[in-house]
Structure 1
């Protein structure tokens, strides 16, 4: 008499095929995820650049409306003005949220935390009669 044995589980060949397919899929997926991380850092840095521009413009509008004082108060923060715009020491106080960035008040540079290359916003104080220069550099985020 022949008894039939039921197979339980996978054969070695089936497991090797599945592992090979997963390896091939991973080879294509990992670079895409790395690219998404770079794009996310770049987008966050560009968004911060827009926030810095908006914060400087709002402080300038408030400065004009209040008769051009030496300081203005925004959301409880005292902003020191230079030529009608926030100075390097207080531009970060005009932002509602700069989480994920480190600000160096001496240079006016916001650097994206965790970035391996240049991923920053550079704020230069306004010259007399002009507006501040705000540059976003995401060349090597």
Structure 2
């Protein structure tokens, strides 16, 4: 009788098990969705803060309060833009104080830092940093390491 060549059922199961182990150990290195999601969330917050700055400045310009400190629609402003406090940028961006980890007055310029809820303000984490408007300027919004301090 002629013997047929091929794989036995046990050999095929062993190969499938080995491929499964490789997939489980290698996939997280190639599919790092958590970091991508965090980065996208921070970029979304940066965009929301930039939009809020424009909207608040527009309201301040209509009301004629684009110089010095003031208040527009219960939002504390400086030079027409939200200041770096909970009653400033915190009030201008809906949900900012509830949905994000916040740190107001993070440095000498009165910056505010925001990161994902439940995360810490350490160098290994990324934050959105809002630096209030200086004289005749607009506020800056950047994404940087949380522990970085700008004067």
TM-score range, shorter chain: 0.7 to 0.9
Pairing 1:104–2:100 present: no
- Hey, what's the Cα distance between the residues in 2 that align with 1:45 and 1:25? 30
Name stretches of at least 5 consecutive residues in structure 1 with no aligned partner. Answer: 1-10
Query: CA shift at 1:113, angstroms?
Result: 3.4
Pairing 1:83–2:79 present: yes
Query: CA shift at 1:44, angstroms?
Result: 0.9
Q: Report if aligned partners of 1:49, 1:134 keep a CA contact under 8 Å in 2.
A: yes
Instruction: Give the one of 134, 137, 141 matched to 2:141.
Output: 134
Q: Report if aligned partners of 1:42, 1:138 keep a CA contact under 8 Å in 2.
A: no
Root mean square deviation, CA, Å: 2.6
Query: CA shift at 1:100, angstroms?
Result: 4.9
Q: Which residue of 1 aligns with 2:71?
A: 71
TM-score by length of 1: 0.75
TM-score by length of 2: 0.71
- Hey, what's the Cα distance between the residues in 2 that align with 1:114 and 1:96? 19
Q: Which residue of 1 aligns with 2:16?
A: 18
